[in-house]
Structure 1
Amino acid sequence: MEKALDRKIKLIWDFRGPSALKIAEHHEKHLNEFVALEKLKLDITGHQQFNEMHSIAYLVVEEDEMKKVRDALKPHRGEIYLESN
């Protein structure tokens, strides 16, 4: 079992509408730029389409970096990241 401070947090941005996938793909590019600029410990980003009207972009951060990243990027939601996600 992971110690609380070893947890990873998946920060999520939801996009809805007919352009949701394109917007999520584009947002992921900006997340990658942020990871490099801020020299974050992890470089896990991605996007996922749930249906033609809902897609997400996400960034996984170490829990100790979460507040800094959350305050800077204002994700819509977050969840504990499990390696199998």
Structure 2
Amino acid sequence: MRKLKLIWDFKGPEGIKIAEHHAIHLKEFIEAENYKNLTTGFEALNEFHAIAFLITPEEQMRPLRDALKPHRGQVAE
């Protein structure tokens, strides 16, 4: 089963804090909507670019993408 990573990019001096906060909202969404088998978090790519992400099985991607409007996506490693 292929997994996809939905990604939100945050840039600038506050990017890491914003990505961390966005990951909290993603976790709240997952719990409120009773989704299973999803992973969320954030990652600092450098001091001015961070991402929040959600990893989902491919078959659940479309409703999540449509509801959450990620900036981009990729196959999860």
TM-score range, shorter chain: over 0.9
* TM-score, length-scaled by structure 2: 0.94
Is 1:12–2:7 an aligned residue pair? yes
Cross-structure match for 1:76: 71
3-state DSSP class of the match of 1:60? strand
Quote the sequence identity (%): 53
Structure whose CA Rg is larger: 1
**What is the aligned length?**
77
After TM superposition, where is structure 1 displaced by more than 2 Å over at least 4 residues in a row? none
CA separation in 2, counterparts of 1:38 and 1:60? 15
Distance in 1 (alpha carbons) for counterparts of 2:15 and 2:66: 23
CA RMSD of the aligned region, Å? 0.9
Runs of at least 5 residues in structure 1 that lack an aligned partner in the other structure? 1-5
Q: Measure the CA separation in 2 of the matches of 1:8 and 1:72.
A: 18
Q: Structure 2: which 5+ runs fail to align? A: none
Give the AA of the match of 1:33: E
Quote the offset at 1:40 in angstroms: 1.6
How much has 1:79 moved relative to structure 2?
0.7
TM-score by length of 1: 0.86
